[in-house]
Amino acid sequence: MPVLSYIHHLFNIDQCHAYIHTLRWKDRSLQCPRCQSQDIDPWGNYHYRPGCKRYWGNGCKRTFNDLTDTLLHQSKRSLAYWILATFLLCLSCSSRRSARELGVHSRTSYRWCWGLRNTAVSYEIDRQVAGTVEADDLYHTAGQKGQAKQGGTKPLGRRPRGRRKKREPGRGHYEKDRPAIIAWVSRQGPVVIQAPKDFTVKTVQKAADIAVHAGSRLYTDSASSYQALKGYLHEFVNHTKKEYARGDVHENRAECLFSLLKPYLRVFRGLSKMNLPGYLGFFQFLRNFRHQTAFEQAEMILCAALDPAIASRARKGEFVRSLDHFGLLQTAII
């Protein structure tokens, strides 16, 4: 009886390639990714990548395969790794956990996870909620986690906070390492989660304009920034008077969403405030496709990752950057 360390060693390589081949070409005919010519011939296999079929394009006289110009292009690891990595990401694993389960270096897994998260966010960039929308806000501790660009520790600009930053009373702020998170939850299903720097009237109006369709019915708590919102049919409950629901007016769905978001973010053991929009964007993707299984979600991500146009933007981190309307991302992610 052979002993295996990793589950993906059980995957059949030919089936993985057949699956990826189907995903890549299901919406378009088999063509050269460089010149779009459909005049192609089979061109054998790669000796170092078993199961991967090579094609010859008569248009530009070059070879290509199913992975050319996709997010998986020129990866040294086989498709089994990528399929399992995407599945684990949809089960909300951290990149370090994925690294252990896959048997790759944590830096490899970090790069893959952010590439795949960016790809998933491509489904979310233009999302707006409408109908009856509930809104709520949260302040999450997020500081300067990570390494400096040149390697070594990052200059913090303050004293290290020990194991955990002690919470200050009152609302958080980006500069205080507790940026705000606003969730807009439609009772018709979709959600939008944003990471503004603060919670002023101006910021909340901008966030609402981006996330919520004008004229929607909006239910919030009694925070003054919500009360100043313009362009919506707004009603609120007053938590300080112990009023949590008044007939139809409540924000329990938004609060419930935060009860799911908090344990999701906790998995990462503290996070960088620059990465917050990326994590929130991916969580938004998982919530908006919550009726699908984790593998169906993984299939959606792989499908997008196999589109050269999406893959090249995802590699540069463009999708997460386009979610960042408030300037949290000062540096590129990948």
Which chain residues interact with Zn ion by CB under 5 A? 32, 34-35, 37, 57, 59-60
Question: Which two structure tokens, joined as six digits, stand for 229?
Answer: 């919102």
C-alpha to C-alpha distance for 202 and 182, rounded to whole angstroms: 14
Between 32 and 302, CB nearer to Zn ion: 32
Of 268, 300, 303, 306, nearest in space to 285 by CA? 300
Minimum CB distance to Zn ion, residue 25 (Å): 15
C-alpha to C-alpha distance for 197 and 171, rounded to whole angstroms: 11
Question: Which two structure tokens, joined as six digits, stand for 98?
Answer: 């994925």
Minimum CB distance to Zn ion, residue 34 (Å): 4
Q: What are phi and psi of 30, to 5 degrees?
A: -60, 115
Q: How would you label 292-329 residue by residue, b for 16+ Cβ within 10 Å and e otherwise?
A: eebeebbbbbbbbbbbbebbebbbebbbbbbbbbbebb
Between 31 and 128, CB nearer to Zn ion: 31
Between 59 and 231, CB nearer to Zn ion: 59
Between 228 and 309, CB nearer to Zn ion: 309
Question: Which two structure tokens, joined as six digits, stand for 169?
Answer: 């009373």
Asked whether the beta carbons of 43 and 68 are under 8 A apart, the reply is: no
Minimum CB distance to Zn ion, residue 41 (Å): 12
Minimum CB distance to Zn ion, residue 43 (Å): 12
Between 34 and 127, CB nearer to Zn ion: 34
Minimum CB distance to Zn ion, residue 306 (Å): 18
